[in-house]
Amino acid sequence: MNNFDQEISKYRKNTGSNISKIEKKSKHKHQYEECIIRYKFSFMGKNNLHTELSSYCTICGKIGDRFSKEKSIVEEKTIHKQLPNGMKYLTHMSGKEIYEQYHDILPVFNAEFSDKYIDLNQREN
């Protein structure tokens, strides 16, 4: 009997990651710019449109996170509102208000909620 067969090795053979199954890693450093993304969806038989600020890679179209207040060109206003019972509350600009105010300045893309990338050729004019 061979002693090497019974020894437990200190090192395990690399079998790859079982956590991440990314097929292909990006061959570039993402360069994100701020944009508006409009998501179409149906709810209770009615077509709706959800609009939000986001970012995208100008090279490959990967959807990123929303920019911080310091980096964003959008000056999102806090709006003071009052309920009929007299209570006051603060709210932020809606997606519709952001679109109306910034669609001429920021690129606008349409996407599905499940999309991780946008089609750079489908930019709204």
Digit-by-digit pLDDT tens for the chain (125 residues) are 555 555 655 666 666 555 555 555 668 899 999 999 998 887 888 888 889 999 999 999 999 998 888 888 887 766 677 888 888 877 778 888 889 999 999 999 999 888 899 988 888 76
DSSP annotation of 120 reads: G
pLDDT at site 37:
93
- Angle (nearest 5°) at CA 89 between 84 and 90: 135
DSSP annotation of 117 reads: B
C-alpha dihedral sign at 102, 105, 109, 110: positive
- CA–CA gap between residue 87 and residue 31 (Å, rounded): 44
DSSP annotation of 12 reads: P
pTM of the predicted protein model: 0.66
Contacts of 72 (CB under 8 A, 6+ apart): 34, 53, 66
> If DSSP codes are grouped into helix, strand and coil, which group holds residue 38?
strand
pLDDT at site 41:
81
Q: For 30-71, list the strands marked E by DSSP.
A: 32-43, 46-57, 63-64
Q: How many CA atoms lie within 13 A of 112 on its CB side?
A: 2
pLDDT at site 35:
94
Token pair of 78 as six digits: 């806090």
